[in-house]
Amino acid sequence: MEDSQEIEEQVQEEVISDNATEKKQETRDDMLSRHRKEISQLQKKEIELKKAAARGSKAEQKAKKKQVEEEVTRLSADLKEKHAKELAELGYSNVGNGNEKGNLDSLIKAIAGVSVTNQPERARVSKAQQKRDRRAQQEAEREQRIQAEQSDTISDRTIENEKLEKKLKPLGLTVCEIKPDGHCLYRAVEDQLALLSGGRSPHTYQELREMAAAYMRKNSAEFLPFFLSENLIEDDSDETPAQKFENYCKEVESSALWGGQLELGALTHCLKKHIMIFSGSFPDVEMGKEYKSGDGAASSNSSIMLSYHKHAFGLGEHYNSVVPT
């Protein structure tokens, strides 16, 4: 890694510079002070390396992170070895022998041999990062549950789907499966827009995310009360309600955060489309009735039609696209 090589050279140059000025006989306190300074410098370089490794794709970040860990471990070991040699030159051995220097050895090693890689990084992890980590863990668990339930023969999901099929069949409609990846609501809407346009959707699922987030921000007074009522459990931060809502909007537009009522409410106004949500577990829901076709009826030619699945893969919520048979 070019970044790590440059930083390593900087560390070496700083150490060499320090050594040049410290060739004069140092006292024990002077040496310990210099050691602490060198350790602090290496810790700062470690942070710089990690920041540099955070750029790029997830795969690149993962590879860079491993390289940084190996590089920092090596630099830390080299610095410890250097410090141990310098302490030995002052007569401090690795074994306590009862004399003053031997008795001071453990104290010196504790001060000068601080581990760079074992610093309590968790204390520096932001709340936003902790939330992202929790989200990543939830996504991993979600994928595991999907795999585990693929082989189910009789389940709540089966019953729900049968009820939904009986509801849709007389209407000449059926469910078009959408990938359950956290973007399902937006992908389902994208599929509907493509169907209504007779070709390609005018908006990608990512653009729909951004549109929903922008609309909610602009109309926060309308959405904030509903957001707070749905997010009363996670209230362990010092953020204001407005800050929490802004962070939520950021997640909507930049992550795989599941979409629901709030986002559907925003999309119906962004797109100026009537949205019909069919369900095998709950009564059907209509949103944006003011955008219905001229005769006031929901039509497959003008309305966005989705299906809501409470028991899809045991994941709580999932949306599919509803299309003509």
Give residue 121's pLDDT.
Answer: 44
Judge whether 318 counts as a catalytic residue: yes
CATH class of 129-324: alpha beta
Q: What is the pLDDT of residues 145-185, one digit of tens each?
A: 666 655 554 577 888 889 999 999 999 999 999 998 889 99
Residues with pLDDT less than 50, the chain: 20-23, 95-105, 107-122, 153, 233
- 270: annotated active-site residue: no
**Number of C-alpha atoms within 13 angstroms, CB side, residue 320?**
21
Respond yes or no: is residue 269 known to be catalytic.
no
pLDDT digits 0-9 by tens, 33-64: 787 888 878 888 888 887 777 777 777 777 77
Question: Of 3, 181, 269, 270, which residue is the catalytic one?
Answer: 181
| CA separation, residue 12 to residues 38, 56, 78, 210, 241 (Å) | 10, 27, 10, 46, 48
Is pTM beyond 0.75? Reply is no
Q: Which of helix, strand or coil describes residue 319?
A: strand
- For the chain, helix (H) and strand (E) counts, in that order, are 11, 5
Domain ranges of the chain: 2-124, 129-324
Q: What is the pLDDT of residue 104?
A: 44
Q: Which of 184, 203, 274, 311 is catalytic?
A: 184
Candidates 91, 87, 79, 89; CA nearest to 109 is 87
In angstroms, rounded to a whole number, what is the distance separating the alpha carbons of residues 138 and 85?
48
